[in-house]
């Protein structure tokens, strides 16, 4: 588990380019390569599902592995008529 200081540093890294922008939607302004490089530079382990085809990881009921040639987020909400997750009981 990440300690509080490292979490704060990561959030600052993700949002660095969004600071002061009135139209920022809060999503990270970093490429996947920049994020991966940051993780390596900070000695973070790879998520165990990343090597198994889960390029975008959400909640258990709404996530599946991504197939060859599919967009990284194709495994999110697959077969569902939605683009954002809700609460699951």
Active-site amino acid positions:
85
Query: What tokens were used for 2?
Result: 């990440």
Q: 63 phi and psi, to 5 degrees?
A: -125, 135
Max Cα distance, the chain (Å): 39
* Cα four-point dihedral sign 5, 6, 11, 12: positive
Helix axes 4-15, 32-41, angle to 10 degrees: 150
């Amino acid at each position: 588990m990440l300690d509080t200081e490292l979490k704060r540093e990561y959030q600052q890294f993700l949002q660095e380019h969004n600071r002061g922008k009135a139209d920022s939607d809060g999503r990270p302004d970093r490429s996947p390569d920049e994020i991966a490089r940051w993780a390596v530079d900070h000695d973070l382990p790879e998520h165990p599902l990343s090597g198994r085809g889960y390029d975008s990881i959400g909640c258990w009921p709404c996530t599946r592995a991504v197939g060859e040639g599919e967009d990284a987020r194709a495994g999110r909400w697959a077969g569902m008529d939605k683009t954002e997750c809700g609460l699951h009981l």
